[in-house]
């Protein structure tokens, strides 16, 4: 087994390949820029061709190497298509960043089934499928990393985001278990769990301002910039570990919340059988 990259040896990643999903904007675009600065050669994936090529061109203009692939990752053939393109375009695939995700805030019982199933497919099934397709390449090399962008909502589930919180909690369980399976074979798996980040996540067509932009304006200290998450991903290149909570203050707060959770969670009595279900 070849050794993992040592902290501080920047040139170690020069020419190594990285695949970043959801790289057309937000956290994914920030991760792509940060990895390009580390010398990695990038394959950027998303559905918005114009924005993807803007990110790719920006990286190229700054001296980095990036190409893009327009792909809906929920399509049944997506993982095979990405694998083919990875083999064609990346000399030495090293890192897969499963970042693409969507979130819709709505009560579960009011959501159309096809719509929440699409969310689950994007946030959980697609990253697992892509990992399943690309993992053999990393294992054959005896070196590589897989990063999932999870969420603090895995620990602090939010009402109206039950599907999203569930998908992110599942990603954490999956990522930690997979890390135990493959670490001895030279591949490390990490889950990055940020709190609120200023991006377009959850924007509906009718929104004049994305909800997280509004939150950033109203409560600036509660919202991170995407670059903070990108820096956490770069740190994992040098020091892989199973779970990285972002920011550091949340990592500490998380431990405290674990203890306080039973007292913070509202306790409601179950309605008696036969009632209309309102509490």
Ligand X SMILES: NC(=O)c1ccc[n+]([C@@H]2O[C@H](COP(=O)([O-])OP(=O)(O)OC[C@H]3O[C@@H](n4cnc5c(N)ncnc54)[C@H](OP(=O)(O)O)[C@@H]3O)[C@@H](O)[C@H]2O)c1
Summarize as ranges the residues that interact with ligand X (CB under 6 A). 21-22, 24-28, 46-48, 72-74, 99-103, 122, 149, 151, 194, 196-197, 199-201, 212
CB of 263 to ligand X, least distance (A): 25
Distance (Å) of CA 186 to CA 1, 2, 35, 43: 6, 7, 20, 22
Q: Catalytic annotation on 94?
A: no
Q: Give the list of residues 6+ apart from residue 68 with CB closer than 8 angstroms, or none.
A: 23, 43, 44, 45, 46, 49, 52, 53, 55, 56
Tokens of 184: 């001895």
CB of 184 to ligand X, least distance (A): 28
Using the minimum distance from each CB to ligand X, give the nearer residue, 59 or 143: 59
Cis omega before residue 17 (within 30°)? no
CA atoms in the 13 A half-sphere facing the CB of 185: 13
CB of 21 to ligand X, least distance (A): 6
One of 132, 164, 196, 238 is an active-site residue; which one?
164
CB of 233 to ligand X, least distance (A): 11
179 in Cβ contact with 242 (< 8 Å): yes
Which residues carry out catalysis?
164
């Amino acid at each position: 087994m070849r050794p993992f990259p040592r902290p501080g040896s920047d040139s170690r990643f020069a020419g190594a390949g990285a695949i970043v999903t959801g790289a057309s904007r937000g956290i994914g675009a920030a991760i792509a820029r940060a990895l390009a600065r580390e010398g990695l050669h990038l394959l950027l994936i998303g559905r918005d061709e114009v924005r993807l090529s803007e990110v790719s061109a920006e990286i190229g203009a700054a001296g980095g190497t990036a190409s893009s692939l327009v792909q809906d990752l929920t399509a049944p053939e997506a993982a095979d298509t990405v694998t083919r393109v990875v083999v064609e375009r990346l000399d030495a695939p090293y890192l897969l960043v499963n970042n693409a995700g969507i979130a819709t805030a709505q009560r579960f019982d009011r959501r159309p089934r096809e719509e929440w199933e699409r969310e689950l497919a994007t946030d959980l099934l697609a990253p697992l499928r892509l990992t399943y397709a690309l993992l053999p390449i990393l294992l054959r090399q005896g070196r590589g990393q897989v990063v999932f962008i999870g969420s603090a909502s895995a620990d602090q589930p939010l009402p109206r985001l039950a599907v999203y919180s569930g998908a992110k909690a599942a990603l954490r369980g999956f990522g930690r278990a997979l890390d135990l399976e493959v670490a001895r074979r030279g591949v490390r798996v990490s889950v990055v769990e940020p709190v609120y980040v200023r991006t377009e996540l959850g924007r509906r067509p009718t929104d004049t301002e994305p909800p997280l932009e509004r939150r950033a304006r109203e409560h600036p200290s509660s919202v991170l910039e995407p670059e903070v998450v990108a820096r956490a991903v770069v740190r994992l290149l040098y020091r892989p570990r199973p779970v990285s909570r972002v920011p550091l203050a949340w990592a500490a707060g998380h431990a405290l919340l674990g203890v306080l959770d039973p007292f913070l969670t509202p306790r409601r009595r179950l309605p008696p059988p036969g009632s209309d279900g309102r509490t």
